[in-house]
Structure 1
Amino acid sequence: MQLVEFFYGMVTATEVAYYAYIYSVVSTQHYQRVTSYCRSVTLVAATVAAVLGQLLVSLADVSYFYLNAISLASVSLAFLCAFFLPMPQRSMFFHGKDAPETVPGPGKGLAVGAACRAPSCQEERSPDPAARAPSPQPQAGSARPHRHGLSVLLQLGRDLRDCYGSRRLLCWSLWWALATAGFNQVLNYVQVLWDLRA
């Protein structure tokens, strides 16, 4: 069980990196759609796998060893497919674009600064264009390393303020945290229940 929890933690960490990759290769106007597609596919696949595994064990009398082998083959195939994904052309953070992007909205465009790249972060922006413009980046080689580190921290603080100033994003983050906590609670309970039933 300790080994299972270790690898489950590794998978959870790579899932975060995978979503960061998605948002770095997709334009901001497609963030909400891409997020819904990815989560829907993940949840549907987990549901189908759980139901199929239960049916194979209950009706076809398949041993747990074969279920583990199928799971290992599936995740190994997914791991190999990740090597064929295209490399991102820009970084999600600290890429310092010169001008904010324009995201088409209902009736008019919404200016989206380069700092905020999270889903549903496009709304509730300041109406002042000067407040949305990214801060000027220091010239290469002109600033000392500690000044560069300070500018990175300041930009990170502005990113957090801009992104989490969105009420919709706060609600989405709260829902995500509660749903993940509930899912993990049920998952860990099922592991103990299976050990008891076996």
Structure 2
Amino acid sequence: MEKWQWVSLILCLFGIFKEFRPSEPFVTEFLIEYKNFTKETVVQQIYPLGTYFYLGTLPIVFLITDYLRYKSIIILEGLAFVGVYILLIWGNGINNARVFEFLFGIACSTEVAYYTYIYAKVDKEHYKKVTSFTYTATLVGNFLAAVVAQALVSSKLMNYRELNFLTLTSVSICLGIAFFLPSVKQSIYFHRKPDTPSITNGSIQNANSIVITPDDAEGTPNLKGRLSRAYRLLWADFTTAYSNPYIVKWSVWWAISSAGFLQIINYIQPLWEDIAAYTENEIYNGAVDAVHTILSALLAILVGHISIPWRKWGESLLCVISLLQGFLLLWMSQTETLMVAYVGYIIFRTLYQVMITVASAEVANNITGDSSGLIFGINRFVALLLQSFLTFAVADKGGLALGLRPQFNVYGGYFFVLGGIFAVVVGVTGLRHGFRRGSSSEVVANGGPEHEIVSLTKNNGIAQL
């Protein structure tokens, strides 16, 4: 077995066991029925903490991940998950809840190490394969967890508390697997190996046009030099990416949509609990997770094999899908039928998963491979900032602390606003292109030479469509 295949196998096993958490589809029911929290306490005091801790730890973890070279942070992720489920099973009280939400925030933020490890350890020629393998592994873990959870609950072989023991076993195995990951000798920013170096005037110039002085070179104990070089590389990647309007467009949708999406998955179970109170229907949270997982995977694969001119139709699709998601959330907020809420959520989440896959691909295809972790991390951080604002304003006890149905009315309006933003973008783009076509036609009418027409269309970006 080749080295990259061995690394892929370990990463895939880690991903499967990390995502195999059958207790998650029923965590709200568990907290209410077995930990004696009220629904209001769960929604207004416990769940908001996870969002705040995630936001607070993400930027720190991102930089530490690069400096410590991934493996130790992946191990920390496993430890955090183990701590979460130990406290969920044996801990009690609101202070215990604060601690496990803090650990959960760390577990979420440290996922950046798992998804960027491959870019530091695997040769570039294998990036696409390993990325595909790890993405599939996490989906397999999610799907199996949802199916097993629903089967055990429906057959009454396990209750909500006992599902946590399965999850604890799985994340403990995941922690053990992390120790088998090969160590990484270099990283993207703090331990970067200069690319195609050449000596110019006593300094080293790498492929990214960042000047690296001899004191900054790999292997030096000079921490100040490493920090200085890392800052220059970070800033160069940041400015290069976000000076591209195409990346900015997709990143705006990514951040705003992800903020709303994260808020929905945090509070959908309490909404289902609220709707279920009006009926005697069996809870099928696990089945819902299984269905949207498999649908998202199949549609993402399908989109990947269909040639769609995203530069031409991307803005329009983002507008339509955002408006549709807003409608689905309003629909869910008004229904008293659990199955209707389930179907609405499946459609909502599948649409998001497909479009975030497209957004990730479009952004990744227009930036350097080394900067993908930074740009993805920034987009996620902005999403968490927006989600934290939503949480505090709408759900937190310190804010409006709205009921669940009014909350989902707000979230529906949020996606309508997002759709409206892209409707404006579509309109402005259409007017601009119409003006450019008119200018091009005027050149033709005036008998301008052919090379002037070609130059005009290229300079205005029409040729890129």
CA distance in 1, matches of 2:206, 2:182: 34
What's the TM-score, normalizing by structure 2?
0.31
* AA matched with 1:139: P
Name the residue aligned to 1:125. none
| 1:26 and 2:130 matched | no
Cα 1:62–1:23 shift into 2, 3 Å: same
Counterpart-to-counterpart distance in 2, 1:71 and 1:151:
42
Distance in structure 2 (CA, Å) of the matches to 1:40 and 1:161? 32
The Cα of 1:138 is off from its aligned counterpart by 1.3
In the TM superposition, what is the alpha-carbon distance from 1:176 to its structure 2 partner?
6.0
Task: Give the structure with higher Rg (CA).
Answer: 2
1:66 maps to a residue whose letter is E
Cα offset, 1:34, TM superposition? 2.1
Please give the residue correspondences for 1:31-180 in structure 2 after superposition, counting only pairs within 5 Å: 31-94=127-190, 95-99=192-196, 132-140=207-215, 149-162=227-240, 177=255, 180=258
Taking only the aligned residue pairs, the percentage that are identical comes to 37
Q: Is the 8 A contact 2:120 2:187 kept in 1?
A: yes
CA RMSD of aligned residues (A): 3.6
Query: What is the TM-score normalised by the length of structure 1?
Result: 0.65
One-letter amino acid matched to 2:186: R
1:99·1:134 contact (CA, 8 Å) conserved in 2?
no
Q: Which amino acid aligns with 2:144?
A: V
Q: 1:191 aligned to 2:269?
A: yes
Aligned-pair CA distance for 1:174: 6.3
Contact 2:189–2:230, Cα closer than 8 Å, also in 1: no
Unaligned runs of 5+ in 1: 101-129
Cα separation, 2, equivalents of 1:77 and 1:186: 30
Amino acid corresponding to residue 140 of structure 1 in structure 2:
D
1:65 CA drift (Å): 1.7
Distance 1:61 1:155 in 2: 54
| CA 1:146–1:81: 2 relative to 1, 3 Å | closer
Q: Which has the higher contact order (CA 8 A, sep 6+)?
A: 2
SS of the equivalent of 2:212 reads: coil
- Give deviations 1:100-140, integer Å, cap 9, x for gaps: 8xxxxxxxxxxxxxxxxxxxxxxxxxxxxx99454332122
The Cα shift of 1:152 comes to: 3.5
Q: Is the 8 A contact 2:195 2:207 kept in 1?
A: no
Q: Which whole-Å deviations, capped at 9, do the CAs of 1:47-77 have from their partners, x for residues lacking one?
A: 2211220121012341112100000110111
- Greater fraction helix: 2
CA 1:52 to 1:173, structure 2 compared with 1: closer, same or farther past 3 Å?
farther
User: What is the identity, as a one-letter code, of the residue corresponding to 2:212?
Assistant: Q
Change (3 A) 1:61 1:173: farther
Structure 2 CA distance for partners of 1:60 and 1:167, relative to 1, 3 Å: farther
Q: Which residue of 1 aligns with 2:84?
A: none
Residues 97, 134 of structure 1: 8 Å contact kept? no
SS of the residue 1:86 aligns to: coil
- One-letter amino acid of the structure 2 residue matched with residue 31 of structure 1: Y
* Distance in 2 of aligned mates of 1:32 and 1:167: 25
